[in-house]
């Protein structure tokens, strides 16, 4: 079964509105989660590292004010796409390391398809 859960799986929003995507770790605490973006038929690009209790670390070229990341608890990280535009339409997916310490495996959520109309 899934160890990392993402919601919603699909969302359509109007241009100019904001949309929130949730990433939850199931049955374990994730001090660090990662957010990726994937354009059609392309690879996954890391957007940011979400750190529980502190600010996210963004990759070069990712707009911090547009993609707000909040990691308020050890089991939940959220990505909010603010003032969304059609070019933000993409597949967003999060990941977490399981278990949080030691040699481990990285699992991904189910992903979220965002369509901005």
Q: By CB under 8 A, name the binding residues for other proteins.
A: 32, 34, 41-44, 46, 49, 91, 93, 95, 97, 103, 105-111, 113
Residue 40 has phi, psi (to 5 degrees) of -50, 130
To which residue do tokens 């003032």 refer?
Answer: 83
CA 94 to chain CA centroid, nearest Å: 4
Cβ at position 114, least distance to other proteins in Å: 12
> What token pair was written down for 52?
């529980």
Q: What share of the chain is helix, strand, coil (3-state, %, to 5)?
A: 5, 55, 45
Nearer Cβ to other proteins (54/105): 105
Nearer Cβ to other proteins (44/74): 44
Cβ at position 16, least distance to other proteins in Å: 26
Residue 88 has phi, psi (to 5 degrees) of -85, -10
Nearer Cβ to other proteins (72/106): 106
Cβ at position 53, least distance to other proteins in Å: 17
Nearer Cβ to other proteins (31/82): 31
């Amino acid at each position: 079964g899934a160890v990392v859960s993402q919601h919603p799986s699909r969302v359509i929003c109007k241009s100019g509105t904001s949309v929130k995507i949730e990433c939850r770790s199931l049955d374990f605490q994730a001090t660090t989660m990662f957010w990726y973006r994937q354009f059609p038929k392309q690879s996954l690009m890391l957007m940011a590292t979400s750190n529980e209790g502190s600010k996210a670390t963004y990759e070069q070229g990712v707009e911090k004010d547009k993609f707000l990341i909040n990691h308020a608890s050890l089991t939940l990280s959220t990505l909010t796409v603010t003032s969304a535009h059609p070019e933000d339409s993409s597949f967003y997916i999060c990941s977490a390391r399981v278990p949080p310490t030691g040699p481990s495996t990285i699992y991904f959520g189910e992903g979220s398809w965002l369509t901005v109309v």
